[in-house]
Amino acid sequence: MRRRSTEPDRLKSIMAFEIAFPSPTEEGRAMSLQSSSQPDHIPLLMRHPVRWIALAAICISFLHHGVTRFVSFDIATSEMERAGMLPAAPIAAAVILLQIVCSILILSGFWRWIGALVLSAFTIAATVMTFPFWSVRPGLDRLVVSDSFTTNIGLAGALLLVAWYDLHLWRTQASD
């Protein structure tokens, strides 16, 4: 037969749980984050390899587009002209620079949140201009354009998450 627990028994079990698993305070949480940081001599890539791989996966399309458009600058300028963005050469150069520099900021961790916010805003603006699925006739073409639109909006959301997380770490004074 099961014994009915009394109020003192319940309080003892709660106290035992709180001793074993103390609730973190703001000060305790900041101290645990600082004390668990890796030594400085460990390379950035090895401190959090899964996070760095995820960041690289988010940045790969921006690096790819930036480098390929830099190598083939005439293609980049013709893309800008086709989109009606004139003068095409300076705009193409600015886009290439933005994609490469912001990706480097994200991957290096130096002003990561700024790089992520800028790339997110750029991605949203470029997606709305490049993939206006609402103006495409229903059918396969509209499906392809709307898929590209939603994929890019998801990428912009991932970049916003990177910025938010980095700002959160910065505000709590935790190291990378």
Residue 71 or 175, more confident:
71
Mean pLDDT confidence for 76-100: 96
Q: What is the pLDDT of residue 34?
A: 45
Give the pLDDT band (50/70/90) at residue 49.
confident
Q: What is the pLDDT of residue 28?
A: 44
122, 176 contact by CB (below 8 A): no
**What residues contact residue 30 under an 8 Å CB cut-off, 6+ apart?**
172, 173, 174
Whether residue 159 lies inside any domain: the answer is yes
Whether residue 153 lies inside any domain: the answer is yes
Whether residue 133 lies inside any domain: the answer is yes
Whether residue 28 lies inside any domain: the answer is no
Number of structural domains in the chain: 1
Whether residue 65 lies inside any domain: the answer is yes
Whether residue 27 lies inside any domain: the answer is no
Is the pTM higher than 0.75? The answer reads: no
Whether residue 30 lies inside any domain: the answer is no
Lowest-pLDDT range of 1-5, 99-103, 120-124: 1-5
59, 106 contact by CB (below 8 A): yes
Whether residue 113 lies inside any domain: the answer is yes
Q: What is the pLDDT of residue 107?
A: 94
Residue 134 parent element (H or E): none
pLDDT, the chain, mean: 83
Q: Which domain holds residue 101?
A: 45-171
